[in-house]
Structure 1
Amino acid sequence: MAEQQVEYHLDGAGITDRPGFYAALGVAVNGPGGYYGSNLDALADCMRGGFGPVPPFTLHWHDSGVARRVLTDHRVIGGREVGYFDAIVETLREGGVTVLLR
């Protein structure tokens, strides 16, 4: 029998800035007041353990278009420039999270 993967639901409707994203993600995976990073490096650290769930897991990011519209500043990842929203998604996926944008 295959092991069932854990799923979390991120409410993205109120994400209007980076702190709002990290607060919403912390709630999604660790409950009210939960923490799961405050920047990309801290997010990657959280996925390695000690701050909540360790991948693999699935993250259903509801209303992801809200964050896509506001998290537009750019970061260099792997030698290429990407928008912050895409950097978040890439960091999660590289860490073993299945991200489903809704």
Structure 2
Amino acid sequence: MWGGLDAQGRRAWLSVALCAMTYQRRKRPADAPPGQVFTLDGRHITDIDGLYCALGEAVNGPGGYFGWNLDAVNDCLRGRFGATTPFTLRWLNSEAATSALISHDTADREGAADLEVLLQIFSEHDVDVLMC
């Protein structure tokens, strides 16, 4: 559902997903156990917020949340946000998505730099990213 949104819409989607996650997890459901494989579909990723939308969906299903900036993803990887490390992130259509991220500049950040740091964060938390 977020794939057709513009940049402002994707940012708003992430805000709603965060609020929904907070509401859904108030009873502290367990995270997925370590060793899981989550599949991220990169077809609709055109900017870094699209990547965060796709990541949330991969880990927590439609409308799911798993961070909306680098610090938030780092926090989510510490637990209580749907996944327990180590896990594998199988990133489908990664070539098109990374190409869009690398070529997408905004006033306050560069997609390529954010992608590089995000992959480093995943590595530091024992998340194996398979680019497919």
**TM interval, short-chain normalised:** 0.7 to 0.9
Q: Aligned partners of 2:100, 2:72: CA distance in 1, in Å?
A: 21
Percent of residue pairs identical? 46
- Letter of the aligned partner of 1:62 in structure 2? L
TM-score by length of 1: 0.82
- Tell me if 1:59 matches 2:59: no
**If the length of structure 2 is used for normalisation, what is the TM-score?**
0.64
Structure with higher RCO (Cα < 8 A, 6+ apart): 1
Shift of 1:5: 2.0
Gaps of 5+ in 1: 75-81
Q: CA deviation at 1:9?
A: 0.5
| Pick aligned residue for 1:7 from 29, 33, 37 | 37
Q: Which has the larger helix fraction?
A: 2
- Cα deviation digits, residues 62-93 of structure 1 (max 9, x gap): 1111221122326xxxxxxx722222211111
Q: Deviations over 1:4-36 (max 9, x none)?
A: 821010000110011111111101010111100
Structure 2 stretches of 5 or more lacking a match?
Answer: 1-33, 103-109
Question: For the pair shown, which has the larger CA radius of gyration, 1 or 2?
Answer: 2
1:71 and 2:101 aligned:
yes
Count of aligned pairs: 92
Q: State the one-letter code of the partner of 1:64.
A: S
CA deviation profile, 1:33-62 (whole Å, cap 9, x unmatched): 110000110000000011110210001011
